[in-house]
Amino acid sequence: MSLDPNVTPTTTMTANVPQIHLPRNAGTELDLDWVAAVQANTSAIERRAATLPGRRSVKKAHQAAWLCKAVSVIDLTTLSGDDTHMRVRRLCAKARQPVSAQILDQLGMTGLTTGAVCVYHDMVATAVDALDGSGIPVAAVSTGFPAGLSPLDLRIEEIRRSVADGAQEIDIVISRRHVLTQNWQALYDEMRMMREACGDAHVKAILATGELGSLRNVARASLICMMGGADFIKTSTGKESVNATLPVTLTMLRAIRAYEARTGFKVGYKPAGGISKAKDALVYLAMIKDELGDRWLQPDLFRFGASSLLGDIERQLEHHLTGRYSAGYRHAIG
């Protein structure tokens, strides 16, 4: 499994390439028999995932092209307790121009932006204003992020307020206790309510996979969230001790594939937390291509939840052009 070393994705590297409009995942009725039938062979999944990094073969100009593709699907994120309006505005400026104009000129690249900017609810209006006219959507983390333990009515209200402030995407966190206690009805009902509160805004369901106990739970929770109408399923909040991993990704991608095969709906995927190196981004893109196909390489179906990843990609692109690695401080996020 690898990205094709002879294919440079020059026609699909920017976040603003017009997309074929896909029907949103409408969800389905809760099918507990389907859920009960879902299993995960942990040892086989881990063996398969362990082989993936060594099988990446894309090099030189083709690697640069795929790294630009990675930039176009980044949800550039700041979720810190000391976030300020000025920091968010700087982040939005970086989203508009994620790679230096000099590097892009030498690569022959135009129009490259990140896939979205992801912030706390309190910063949504600031981000919407800073990105006005760019076509870059604002994603808000809502529903008591990151623990998701505030009262349900407050979590639903937070979604509505984020949408009212202009968020086009809502990253919600599920109640992990519903997964750990196998209360699939409660998880399904919660997901449906959150999807309804989002209205036209797309909803990404964060599973916090590092806290779900097993890959089987990850697979079943993925399926329940898709049944409940999630537009994306996402690994992590980035605040857990274990975030995105290759075995978890493989498990969730195969759940997405099974869901599409049965319902016809394409659901997006977002790994988040711990993806900070360009070489890791290439592994994830290769896995997406192999498991789901080229259509999932577009920002309406795949995102990286990251911030430091962008800096390393910039360094790799500069090395490709100059043969030298630049200091990290030359590629500040904002």
Q: Give pLDDT tens digits for 209-248.
A: 999 999 999 999 999 999 999 999 999 998 988 899 999 9
Q: State how far the Cα of 67 lies from the Cα of 309, in Å rounded to an integer.
A: 10
Among 99-103, 128-132, 186-190, 323-327, the range scoring the smallest mean pLDDT is: 323-327
Q: Which of 69, 204, 234, 289 is catalytic?
A: 234
Q: Which of 171, 231, 280, 300 is catalytic?
A: 171
- Helix, strand or coil for residue 313? helix
What pLDDT was estimated at residue 329?
A: 60
pLDDT at 57 over 90: no
H or E stretch at 212: none
What pLDDT was estimated at residue 328?
A: 65
83 tagged catalytic: no
| Average pLDDT score over residue span 301-316 | 94
DSSP 5: T
What pLDDT was estimated at residue 55?
A: 67
pLDDT at 330 over 80: no
| Average pLDDT score over residue span 67-93 | 96
Q: State how far the Cα of 70 lies from the Cα of 283, in Å rounded to an integer.
A: 11
pLDDT at 193 over 60: yes
Q: State how far the Cα of 20 lies from the Cα of 70, in Å rounded to an integer.
A: 20
Q: Where residue 56 falls among pLDDT bands split at 50, 70, 90?
A: low
Q: State how far the Cα of 151 lies from the Cα of 143, in Å rounded to an integer.
A: 9
pLDDT at 18 over 50: no
Residue type, 176: R
Q: What is the pLDDT of residues 247-301, one digit of tens each?
A: 999 999 999 999 999 999 999 999 999 899 999 999 999 999 999 999 999 999 9
**32-325 sits in which CATH class?**
alpha beta
- Alpha-carbon Rg for the chain, nearest whole angstrom, is 19
Q: State how far the Cα of 96 lies from the Cα of 117, in Å rounded to an integer.
A: 10
What pLDDT was estimated at residue 59?
A: 81
Q: Which of 220, 176, 228, 238 is nearest to 203 (CA)?
A: 228
What pLDDT was estimated at residue 307?
A: 86
Structure pTM?
Answer: 0.92
Q: State how far the Cα of 282 lies from the Cα of 5, in Å rounded to an integer.
A: 12
Domain ranges of the chain: 32-325
Q: Please, is 214 exposed, middle or buried when counting C-beta atoms within 10 Å of its C-beta (0-12, 13-18, 19+)?
A: middle
What pLDDT was estimated at residue 14?
A: 41
Peptide bond into 146 cis (omega under 30): yes
pLDDT at 4 over 60: no
H or E stretch at 240: none
H or E stretch at 169: strand 169-173
For residue 278, the number of C-alpha atoms closer than 13 Å in the C-beta half-sphere is: 21
Q: State how far the Cα of 278 lies from the Cα of 262, in Å rounded to an integer.
A: 34
Mean pLDDT score across all residues of the chain: 91
What pLDDT was estimated at residue 16?
A: 44
What pLDDT was estimated at residue 286?
A: 93
- Helix, strand or coil for residue 296? helix
Q: What DSSP string describes 72-103? A: HTEEEE---TT--HHHHHHHHHHHHS-S-HHH
Q: Which of 94, 204, 270, 289 is catalytic?
A: 270
234 tagged catalytic: yes
